[in-house]
């Protein structure tokens, strides 16, 4: 299976890398963490002006028609620079609206950066695949009741794609962010999230196939960010251990340290291969897409976490110094490792998927 990026994706990667390298410097990220929103609005506008917010959308919706592959390339570059913009929730929500909502202007406005969207896919003590939020319909009007946990980047969002269980099972709905109840919280990664309380909130249902598709798209997006975070962390480790000396030798010359960084490289390769296998399966509606996504999710959760742990360890005391950037990669890696389920939760769901396949087969 060939996962080589084509010319369009290579162009996206180079453009995104240039923007993030120029604008998401360590000093800039530190300054944004001191603001009230923790979102770099200037960087967000730069990405919109470069037409990078609608990569996964079709051209008729104002996008580049690159599917989730285009979004993943952008997200990997974001992770490599731990750039504080809400790309993955906006990208997934925009993709969901364009693909499953009734035709309208919202997807195009989101692709142009005029409107910001987010997703509410998690709840306390429940699997994302079994939402406790309840959807009911009366006189043709859908309403949602329940609480969604740790909704990413609600500040500035105009709409939320919400998972809920209706009469026919789990489904996705579009809810205006205004007029509902939010309780703000700060995440491990220094981002603001919000618990969303819904009490009969009016909602617009997305297509019947949206539930599984949106969860898979979100899992792919998070895995792409985590791949970038792990790669960025490892690059810092390589630079630090090559320059820092002990007993008259660079740290990188010590065998035990080299083994740890070699393990990081192995994890990165596995994360990359499983991510792109999942992307290809989802973008082509492969029957095995769910299995591929859960394999990539396990590597996101376990492999990504292992990399940032090792990287911080080889930095020694400076690894916990908040004036040095490696701590930020560690925090992002931990946050992403638990989003939509940690390693154990992902393995449990993967087991259910495999078992269901055996029964159906």
CA 172 – CA 19 distance, rounded (Å): 33
Sign of CA dihedral 308, 231, 236, 17: negative
Contact 15, 73 (CB under 8 A): no
pTM, 2 dp: 0.95
Distance CA 82, CA 228 (A): 8
259-262 CB contacts, 8 Å cutoff, 24+ apart: 260/310, 260/313, 260/314, 261/234, 261/237, 261/310, 261/314
CB atoms within 10 A of CB 103: 9
Q: What is the pLDDT of residue 328?
A: 95
Residues 145-155: tens digit of each pLDDT: 999 999 999 98
Rounded to the nearest 10 degrees, the angle between the axes of helix 67-80 and helix 87-100 is: 170
Q: What is the mean pLDDT of residues 248-252?
A: 67
**Is the pLDDT at 133 greater than 90, yes or no?**
yes
Decide if 54 contacts 66 (C-beta within 8 A): no
- 29-41 per-position pLDDT tens digit: 999 999 989 999 9
| Contact in structure between 118 and 97 (CB atoms under 8 Å) | no
Which pLDDT value is given to residue 246?
Answer: 66
Q: Where are the domains of the chain?
A: 7-115, 118-207, 211-360
Q: What would the mean pLDDT of 350-355 be, rounded to a whole number? A: 93
- 171 confidence band (pLDDT: 50, 70, 90): very high
pLDDT-above-90 percentage for the chain: 80
pLDDT at residue 84, as a whole number: 97
* Domain 211-360 sits in CATH 1.20.140.10: yes
Say which range, 135-144, 188-197, 240-249, 281-290, has the weakest mean pLDDT: 240-249
Q: Which of the listed CATH numbers 1.10.540.10, 3.30.70.100, 3.40.190.10, 3.40.50.300 matches domain 7-115?
A: 1.10.540.10
Q: What is the pLDDT of residue 357?
A: 77
Q: For 118-207, CATH number?
A: 2.40.110.10
Is the Cα dihedral 187, 190, 195, 196 positive or negative?
Answer: negative
Maximum C-alpha span of the chain = 78
Q: How far apart are CA 320 and CA 8, in angstroms?
A: 39
Beta bridge partners of 126: 123
pLDDT tens digit sequence for 254-297? 666 778 888 999 999 999 999 999 999 998 888 899 999 999 99
CA distance 79 to 38: 16
Q: Nearest CA to 153 among 78, 258, 61, 210?
A: 78
Please report, for residues 23, 100, 288, 291, 349, the alpha-carbon distance to residue 356 in angstroms, rounded to integers and kept in the order given: 46, 26, 12, 11, 11
Tokens 């792990």 appear where? 230
Go through the chain and tell me how many residues it has.
361
The pLDDT score that the predictor gives to residue 361 is 47
Of 125-134, 176-185, 237-246, give the range with the top mean pLDDT: 125-134
In this predicted model, what pLDDT tens digit does every residue of 318-352 receive, in sequence order? 778 888 899 999 999 999 999 999 999 999 999 99
């Amino acid at each position: 299976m060939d996962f080589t990026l084509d010319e369009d994706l290579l162009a996206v990667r180079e453009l995104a890398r240039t923007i993030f390298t120029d604008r998401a410097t360590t000093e800039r990220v530190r300054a944004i963490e001191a603001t009230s929103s923790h979102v770099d609005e200037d960087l967000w506008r730069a990405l919109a002006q470069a037409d990078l917010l609608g990569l996964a959308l079709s051209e008729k919706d104002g996008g580049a028609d690159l599917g989730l592959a285009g979004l993943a390339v952008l997200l990997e570059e974001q992770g490599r620079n731990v750039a504080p913009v809400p790309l993955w929730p906006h990208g997934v929500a925009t993709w969901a609206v364009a693909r499953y909502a009734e035709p309208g202007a919202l997807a195009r406005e989101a692709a142009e950066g005029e409107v910001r969207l987010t997703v509410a896919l998690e709840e306390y003590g429940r699997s994302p695949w079994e939402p406790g939020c309840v959807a009911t319909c009366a006189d043709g009007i859908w309403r949602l009741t329940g609480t969604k946990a740790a909704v990413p980047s609600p500040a500035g969002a105009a709409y939320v794609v919400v998972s809920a269980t209706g009469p026919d099972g789990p489904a996705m709905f579009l809810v205006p962010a205004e007029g509902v109840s939010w309780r703000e919280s700060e995440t491990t990664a220094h981002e603001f999230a919000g618990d969303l309380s819904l009490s009969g909130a009016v909602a617009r249902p997305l297509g019947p196939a949206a539930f599984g598709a949106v969860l898979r798209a979100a899992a792919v997006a998070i895995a792409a960010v985590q791949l970038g975070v792990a790669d960025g962390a490892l690059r810092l480790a390589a630079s630090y251990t090559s320059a820092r000396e002990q007993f008259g030798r660079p740290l990188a010359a010590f065998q035990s340290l080299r083994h740890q960084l070699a393990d990081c490289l192995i994890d990165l390769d596995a994360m990359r291969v499983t991510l792109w296998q999942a992307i290809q399966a989802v973008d082509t509606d492969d029957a095995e897409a769910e299995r591929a996504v859960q394999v990539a999710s396990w590597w996101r959760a376990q492999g990504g976490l292992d990399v940032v742990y090792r990287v911080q360890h080889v930095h020694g005391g400076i690894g916990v110094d908040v004036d040095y950037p490696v701590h930020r990669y560690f925090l992002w890696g931990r946050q992403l490792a638990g989003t939509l389920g940690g390693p154990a939760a992902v393995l449990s769901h993967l087991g259910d998927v495999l078992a269901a396949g055996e029964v159906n087969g």
